[in-house]
């Protein structure tokens, strides 16, 4: 039978896998396989499309050989852009278990605990005196419709029976690797925490069997646990580190893995992990395929409980990203504007009959113009110092504003050579006359910060010269100064993609909501260009400002 082909907007659930073996068993769980769709130019992901129960599902894996939180965030961001109606994600795969809570082959589903939604990023936070560590990372919890389905899933005695049914169907598939089926040769061995693996061999055939912890035999093939999952960019294969993490979270930890935290803050997600090792030096890949199969079977059984009509009514992940950034940016802008000095305030000339002016705001000044489309001060307009309305200041005359349309856009190619007169800390007066006198704000800056040179600062941004950037900032260069295209240093660094420069500017409170002359902001631009790592940096800064 020919495979159906649906539209991008008909898919509602994203299934994310870190390893190829996890993706393989996920494909086997599909009830129906769909024909592939073409990706947009900026989407480098490869998708498998299909149906599970009533849900249209997108399966996607991380790039080969690349695992961790950053890559998982990039993959799901691209997926949310290509499939605009994806409502939530399911990160499904294997993880390391906490010995006194789990056994090999068990499943852990993230479950809310206190103020977090079931996943914490164990390597992100603040170190305090005395070795105390305060975790700052958290996962955005799944929608209410999914949480209520999880409640039923946990309570229903048929859940494990459904999972076994899905696993049994794998045995009837001719193309399934037998390692996904639980072989009798698999041994669940747990060694004492202070005993390390004996040699470089993958198995434990040479390890001291007297150091194995004796436990009561299991009467069931697997159990499903609901609790806290620790995620990070570091592989944990050390029993002492594992036990320390468990203690940090008051023995509420069930699993340790590497990808889920990449979906944090803005992506509604359920994390499901099959336990394949104990996060110690004895970890090997013998249990991986079976653990991945159990996790996949659990995911399929859960989707059978989630009502499709409820899913269709949920907010999409794409909208979640936007609404989250808008909420954060509103609070960020209030804080940012409050920290700056009073702006220049326009005073309407006596006897004027023209319409009320439009105010165009920025950190240091407010220009105004009667044209709602204009981004520049009205030529010859009188501006007044907000602290002294009796003292007028008049900006110099500039060429006709129609030249504005002829200005190149930063996306169109290399920027024009800059002079000191090209810079301002608000929307600049565009001028084709390079000999035009300095604007008011440029004069103000040169008097206030005589040791700084905007051209040097922007050159350092483009060259990634961290030393010069730090020196110029120390000398008083305004981090919100803009070039001839209306770009702040942060804007330019984002376009170039230099993460070190971006982070340095963010650490110096660069405004992540700064707009260029076309009214675009950094976050929207980065999303459209597929720069997911930068999107995550910007969102993290917004979140940090809101929480501060």
Domain edges within the chain:
8-315, 323-547
CATH code, 8-315:
3.40.50.1580
Best CA proximity match to 96, nearest among 345, 291, 375? 291
Q: Looking at 92-96, 260-264, 348-352, which range is the least confident one?
A: 348-352
Looking at every residue in the chain, the average pLDDT score rounds to 74
Q: For residues 198 and 206, what is the distance between their CA atoms, to the nearest angstrom?
A: 6
Angle at alpha carbon of residue 266, lines to 489 and 529, rounded to 5°: 45
Element housing 470 (H / E): helix 466-474
Reported as a single tens digit per residue, the pLDDT across 95-151 is: 999 999 999 999 999 987 765 668 887 766 566 666 666 665 556 677 888 889 999
Q: Could you tell me which CATH class the domain 323-547 is placed in?
A: mainly alpha
pLDDT for res 25:
96
Task: Find all residues with CB under 8 Å of 326, minimum gap 6, and list them.
Answer: none
pTM of the prediction?
A: 0.61
Reported as a single tens digit per residue, the pLDDT across 497-525 is: 888 899 999 989 888 888 776 777 787 78
Element housing 442 (H / E): helix 440-448
DSSP-assigned states of every residue in 84-99: TT--EEEEEEEEEEPT
Confidence class for position 177, pLDDT limits 50, 70, 90: confident
Residue 237 has pLDDT above 70, yes or no: yes
> How far, CA to CA in Å, does 9 sit from each of 12, 51, 59, 318, 511?
8, 14, 15, 12, 34
Residue the block writes with tokens 């007066």: 429
């Amino acid at each position: 039978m020919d495979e159906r082909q649906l539209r991008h907007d008909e898919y509602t659930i994203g299934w994310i896998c870190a390893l190829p073996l996890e993706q393989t068993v996920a494909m086997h769980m599909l009830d129906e396989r769909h024909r592939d769709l073409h990706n947009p130019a900026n989407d480098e992901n490869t998708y498998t499309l299909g149906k599970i129960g009533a849900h249209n599902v997108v399966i996607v894996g991380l790039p080969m050989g690349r695992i961790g939180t950053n890559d998982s965030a990039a993959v799901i961001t691209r997926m949310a852009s290509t499939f605009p109606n994806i409502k939530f994600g399911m990160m499904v795969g294997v993880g390391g278990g906490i010995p006194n809570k789990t056994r090999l082959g068990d499943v852990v589903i993230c479950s809310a605990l206190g103020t977090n939604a079931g996943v914490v990023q164990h390597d992100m936070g603040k170190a305090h005196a005395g070795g105390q560590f305060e975790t700052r990372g958290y996962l955005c919890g799944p929608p209410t419709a999914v949480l209520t389905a999880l409640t039923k899933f946990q309570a229903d005695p048929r859940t494990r029976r459904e999972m076994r049914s899905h696993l049994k169907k794998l045995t009837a598939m001719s193309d399934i690797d037998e390692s996904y089926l639980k072989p009798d040769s698999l041994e669940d061995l747990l060694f004492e925490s202070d005993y390390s693996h004996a040699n470089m061999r993958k198995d434990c055939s040479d390890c001291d069997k007297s150091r194995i912890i004796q436990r009561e035999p299991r009467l069931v093939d697997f159990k499903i646990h609901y609790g806290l999952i620790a995620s990070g960019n570091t592989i944990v294969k050390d029993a002492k580190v594992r036990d320390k993490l468990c203690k940090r979270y008051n023995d509420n930890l069930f699993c340790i893995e590497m990808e889920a935290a990449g979906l944090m803050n803005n992506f509604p997600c359920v994390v499901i992990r099959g336990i394949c090792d104990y996060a110690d030096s004895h970890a090997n890949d013998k249990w991986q395929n079976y653990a991945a199969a159990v996790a996949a079977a659990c995911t399929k059984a859960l989707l059978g409980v989630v009502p499709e009509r409820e899913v269709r009514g949920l907010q999409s992940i794409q909208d979640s990203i936007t609404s989250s950034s808008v909420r954060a940016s509103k609070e960020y802008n209030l804080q940012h504007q409050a920290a700056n000095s009073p702006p220049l305030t326009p005073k309407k000339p006596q006897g004027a009959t023209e319409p009320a002016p439009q105010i165009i705001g920025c950190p240091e000044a407010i220009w105004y113009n009667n044209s709602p489309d204009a981004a520049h001060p009205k030529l010859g307009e009188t501006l007044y110092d907000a602290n002294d309305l009796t003292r007028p200041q008049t900006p110099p005359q500039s060429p006709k504003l129609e030249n504005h349309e002829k200005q190149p856009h930063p996306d169109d190619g290399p920027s024009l050579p800059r002079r000191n007169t090209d810079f301002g800390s608000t929307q600049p007066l565009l001028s084709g006359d390079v000999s035009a006198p300095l604007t008011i704000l440029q004069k103000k800056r040169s008097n206030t910060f005589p040791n700084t040179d905007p051209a040097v600062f922007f050159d350092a941004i483009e060259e990634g010269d961290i030393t010069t950037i730090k020196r110029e900032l120390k000398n008083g260069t305004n981090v919100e100064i803009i070039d001839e295209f209306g770009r702040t240093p942060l804007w330019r660094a984002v376009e170039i993609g230099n993460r070190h420069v971006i982070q340095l500017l963010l650490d110096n409170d660069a405004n992540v909501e700064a707009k260029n002359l076309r009214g675009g902001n950094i976050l929207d631009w980065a999303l459209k260009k597929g720069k997911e790592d930068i999107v995550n940096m910007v969102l993290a800064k917004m979140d940090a400002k809101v929480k501060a």
